[in-house]
Amino acid sequence: SSMLYGYNLAVVNSPAAYIKSFYNKTVVSRNGTGLSGETLTLMYSLTVSVFAIGGLLGSLIVGMLVSRFGRKGTVVNTTVLVFMAGSLMGFSRICGSPEMVIIGRFITGIHSGISLSVVPMYLGEIAPKNLRGFLGLVPSIFIGTGVFAAQILGLHELLGKEEYWPLFLSVVVVPTFIQLLLLPWFPESPRYLLIEKNNVHATITALKWYRAKCDIQAEIEEMQEEQRSLSSVEMLSVWSLLLDDSVRWQVLSVVVINIGMQLSGIDAIWFYTNDIFKNAGIPVPEIQYTTAGTGVIEIIAGLIGCFTIEKVGRRHLMIGGFTMMGICSAGITLALILQLLFMRYVSVCCVVGIIAGFCIGPAGVPFLITAELFKQSHRPAAYIVGGSLNWLSNFTVGFVFPFLQMSAGSYCYLVFATVCFSVAVYVYIVIPETKNKTFMEISRMFSKKESILETQGLFHVDQLKLKKMNGYGGLEHTSLEFDSSSSVP
C-alpha cells in the first residue's frame, strides 16, 4: 500500500505532455476547437491536485473503517479502490474520456489517504516494542521504492512513450493484486482483537503468529492494563480527542510534526529538481536519469533510518532530519542569490541533502509517532487529525508554492528552512524518546510532563497573586504556614 502511494505520487510527472495532448485532442473531437493554454494547464493541475483531495477524504474516513473492519481488514477491503482507479485510467484513452483519468486519480488519492494512516497503525500494533520503530519506518522505504519505480518505468525506453501512458498509470493494479493474494492469510492486529473486540482466543492466535520467541502472557497482561486504563473501549471522535486535556501535548505534537513534514518544502524540491539539475549543466536528455538517481537516494536514506531508529531513537532522527533539511534549504537560497558557477553544484548537493534528510526521519517517523503517543481508544482519531493535516498541507504547498516563488523568488526556501528549524526545536523540547517503551509507559511519560507543567503554572500564578496583594499576600502566606503547623499534633 505504501509503495502504491509513492508510485501514484510520481506517476503523472513523466507522461505530463502526453496527458495534456490527450486532453486537447479529446476536446477537439468533441467540440471542434482545442483548449487554450490556461485551460489545458488547469485541467492537468486538477489531475495532479485531485490526488491530494482524495487523500484528504481518505484520511477523514479511516477512523470509521479501522473500527468497523479492523486494521488488516481495512487494508484488504480498500484494494477494490485501486482496481476501480486502474480500470478507469487504463481504459480512458480507448473511451476518449479525460474525466476517467481525473476520477481515477481521485480514487487512488482516497486509497492512499486510507493507507498512509492504517498501514503505520497496523504495523505499530503488531510489532513488539523493540522492533516498533524499525517496522514503523518500513512504509517510508516502500514509498521511496514506489517513487523510484515510477521514475524507472517512466523512462523513454520502458513505458515513457506516448502510446503507453494509460498502461503506465494503471500498473498499480499489479502490486495490489499480489497484496490481495497474500494479506488475507495474516492475522488481525492483536491489540484490536483484545482491546476493542475482547476476543482473547483470537489475540493469542495472532500473537503466536507474530511472536516466534516472546512471553505472550506478559504482552496480553500489558494490553489488558491498557484496556482497564481506558474510560471506554469505544473509539473517541476527533472532537472528543481535541477536547481531552489529558492528551493535549500529544495532539499538539501530532499537529506540529505532520504540518511540518509537508511545509518543510519537500514537495517544492521535487517540483524544482529538474530545473536545478538543468542549471547545474546536466544535459536535458540526461536529467530523467539523474532524477531517477534521487529515487535511489530516497531508498538508501530510508534504509539508514530504518536500521538505526532503534539505536539512535525517534527524536534524533527527526531533529537531525529537519535540521539537515533546514540547512540545505538555506543553502539553495544562497546558491540562487550568488549565481556563481560552483554554487550550481552546491545547489545540487543541497537538493540531495534535503531529500536524504527527509527520507531518513521526517518521511516516516511522524506516522510512527502518531501510533506511539496514543492509547487504543485515541489512536484512530489521532490518525484522522494527523492524516488530514498532512494532506491539507500537501495540497496547500502544491497550490501556494508557484505564487510564493513568483513573489519571494529565491528567498522562498528560507520559509521552508524556518519551518524545518522550528519543528526540530519543538521536537527537542516537547517530544520524549519513545523507543523500546510500551504504549502505557509512553502515556505515563506525558502524564508526568503535564503534571510538571501544571505545577509550574500554579506556582507562577501563586507568585503573581502574592505580588499583587503585597502585604496581604505575605499575611496570607503566614496564615497558611500557621495553619499547617497547627495541624501537626
Q: What is the 3-state secondary structure (H, E, C) of the chain?
A: CHHHHHHHHHCCCCCHHHHHHHHHHHHHHHHCCCCCHHHHHHHHHHHHHHHHHHHHHHHHHHHHHHHHHCHHHHHHHCHHHHHHHHHHHHCHHHHCCHHHHHHHHHHHHHHHHHHHHHHHHHHHHHCCCCCHHHHHHHHHHHHHHHHHHHHHHCCCCCCCCHHHHHHHHHCCHHHHHHHHHHHHHCCCCHHHHHHHCCCHHHHHHHHHHHCCCCCHHHHHHHHHHHHHHCCCCCCCCHHHHHHCHHHHHHHHHHHHHHHHHHHCCHHHHHHHHHHHHHHCCCCHHHHHHHHHHHHHHHHHHHHHHHHHHHHHCHHHHHHHHHHHHHHHHHHHHHHHHHCCHHHHHHHHHHHHHHHHHHHHCCCCHHHHHHHHCCCCCCHHHHHHHHHHHHHHHHHHHHHHHHHHHHHHHHHHHHHHHHHHHHHHHHHHHHCCCCCCCCHHHHHHHHHHHHHHHHHHHHHHHHHHHHHHHCHHHHHHHHHHHHHHHHCCC
| Residue 182 shares a structural domain with residue 241 | no
Q: What's the confidence (pLDDT) of residue 317? A: 92
Give the integer Cα–Cα distance in Å for 384 and 130.
26
Q: How many residues does the chain have?
A: 489
Q: Is the pLDDT of residue 62 over 70?
A: yes
Cβ atoms of residues 120 and 370 within 8 Å? yes
| Residue 280 shares a structural domain with residue 178 | no
Residue 210 is assigned to a structural domain of this protein = no
Can you give the C-alpha Rg of the chain in angstroms? 26
> 195 vs 429, which has greater pLDDT?
429
| Share of residues in the chain with pLDDT > 90 (%) | 20
Give the integer Cα–Cα distance in Å for 158 and 161.
7
Which residue type occupies 170? S
| Residue 293 shares a structural domain with residue 425 | yes
Q: Assign 107 a pLDDT band (cuts: 50, 70, 90).
A: very high
Lowest mean pLDDT: which of 88-92, 255-259, 269-273, 384-388?
269-273
pLDDT in tens, 115-126: 988 998 898 888
Q: What's the confidence (pLDDT) of residue 106? A: 93
pLDDT in tens, 443-457: 777 776 655 544 555
Q: What is the Cβ-side half-sphere exposure of residue 483, based on CA atoms within 13 angstroms?
A: 6
- For residue 403, give its domain range: 236-465
Give the integer Cα–Cα distance in Å for 319 and 155.
35
Q: Assign 478 a pLDDT band (cuts: 50, 70, 90).
A: very low
| Residue 268 shares a structural domain with residue 141 | no
| Residue 157 shares a structural domain with residue 288 | no
| Residue 179 shares a structural domain with residue 285 | no
Measure CA 162 to chain center.
32
Lowest mean pLDDT: which of 151-155, 223-227, 274-278, 439-443?
274-278
Q: What's the confidence (pLDDT) of residue 426? A: 95
Give the cell for residue 133.
Answer: 520503530
Residue 266 is assigned to a structural domain of this protein = yes
Give the integer Cα–Cα distance in Å for 259 and 392.
8
Q: What is the Cβ-side half-sphere exposure of residue 29, based on CA atoms within 13 angstroms?
A: 11
Q: Assign 476 a pLDDT band (cuts: 50, 70, 90).
A: very low
Q: Assign 10 a pLDDT band (cuts: 50, 70, 90).
A: low
Q: What's the confidence (pLDDT) of residue 461? A: 43
Lowest mean pLDDT: which of 232-236, 394-398, 431-435?
232-236
| Residue 73 shares a structural domain with residue 164 | yes
Cβ atoms of residues 363 and 140 within 8 Å? yes
Q: What's the confidence (pLDDT) of residue 484? A: 37
> 483 vs 288, which has greater pLDDT?
288
Q: Assign 114 a pLDDT band (cuts: 50, 70, 90).
A: very high
Give the integer Cα–Cα distance in Å for 192 and 188.
7
Cβ atoms of residues 151 and 293 within 8 Å? no
Q: What's the confidence (pLDDT) of residue 471? A: 42
Calculate mean pLDDT across residues 88-95.
90
Q: Is the pLDDT of residue 472 over 50?
A: no
Between the alpha carbon of residue 436 and those of residues 44, 80, 103, 225, 440, the distances in Å are 46, 36, 43, 18, 12
Residue 470 is assigned to a structural domain of this protein = no
Lowest mean pLDDT: which of 103-117, 416-430, 432-446?
432-446
| Residue 156 shares a structural domain with residue 247 | no
Q: What's the confidence (pLDDT) of residue 9? A: 67
The Cα angle at residue 155 between residues 152 and 160, in degrees rounded to 5? 120
Q: What's the confidence (pLDDT) of residue 480? A: 37
| Residue 44 shares a structural domain with residue 180 | yes
Give the cell for residue 440.
Answer: 502505557
Q: Is the pLDDT of residue 82 over 60?
A: yes
| Residue 260 shares a structural domain with residue 174 | no
pLDDT in tens, 134-144: 888 888 888 88
Q: Is the pLDDT of residue 177 over 80?
A: yes
Q: Assign 180 a pLDDT band (cuts: 50, 70, 90).
A: very high
Q: Assign 488 a pLDDT band (cuts: 50, 70, 90).
A: very low
Domain end: 186, 217, 252, which one? 186
Residue 109 is assigned to a structural domain of this protein = yes
| Share of residues in the chain with pLDDT > 70 (%) | 83
Give the integer Cα–Cα distance in Å for 103 and 81.
11
Q: Tell me the pLDDT of the chain averaged across its residues.
A: 80
Q: Is the pLDDT of residue 83 over 90?
A: yes
Q: What's the confidence (pLDDT) of residue 279? A: 67
Domain end: 164, 186, 208, which one? 186
Residue 339 is assigned to a structural domain of this protein = yes
Residue 230 is assigned to a structural domain of this protein = no
pLDDT in tens, 304-342: 988 988 888 889 999 999 999 999 989 888 887 776 667
> 247 vs 468, which has greater pLDDT?
247
> 274 vs 162, which has greater pLDDT?
162
| Residue 139 shares a structural domain with residue 71 | yes
CATH of the domain at 125: 1.20.1250.20
Q: Is the pLDDT of residue 131 over 60?
A: yes
Q: What's the confidence (pLDDT) of residue 239? A: 84
| Confidence (pTM) | 0.78
Give the integer Cα–Cα distance in Å for 261 and 366.
8
Cβ atoms of residues 372 and 137 within 8 Å? no
| Residue 6 shares a structural domain with residue 124 | yes
Residue 202 is assigned to a structural domain of this protein = no
Between the alpha carbon of residue 118 and those of residues 137, 327, 462, the distances in Å are 14, 33, 46
Q: What's the confidence (pLDDT) of residue 48? A: 80
Give the integer Cα–Cα distance in Å for 246 and 444.
11
Domain end: 144, 166, 186, which one? 186
Give the cell for residue 147.
Answer: 517513487
Q: How many domains does the chain have?
A: 2
Residue 159 is assigned to a structural domain of this protein = yes
Cβ atoms of residues 105 and 85 within 8 Å? yes
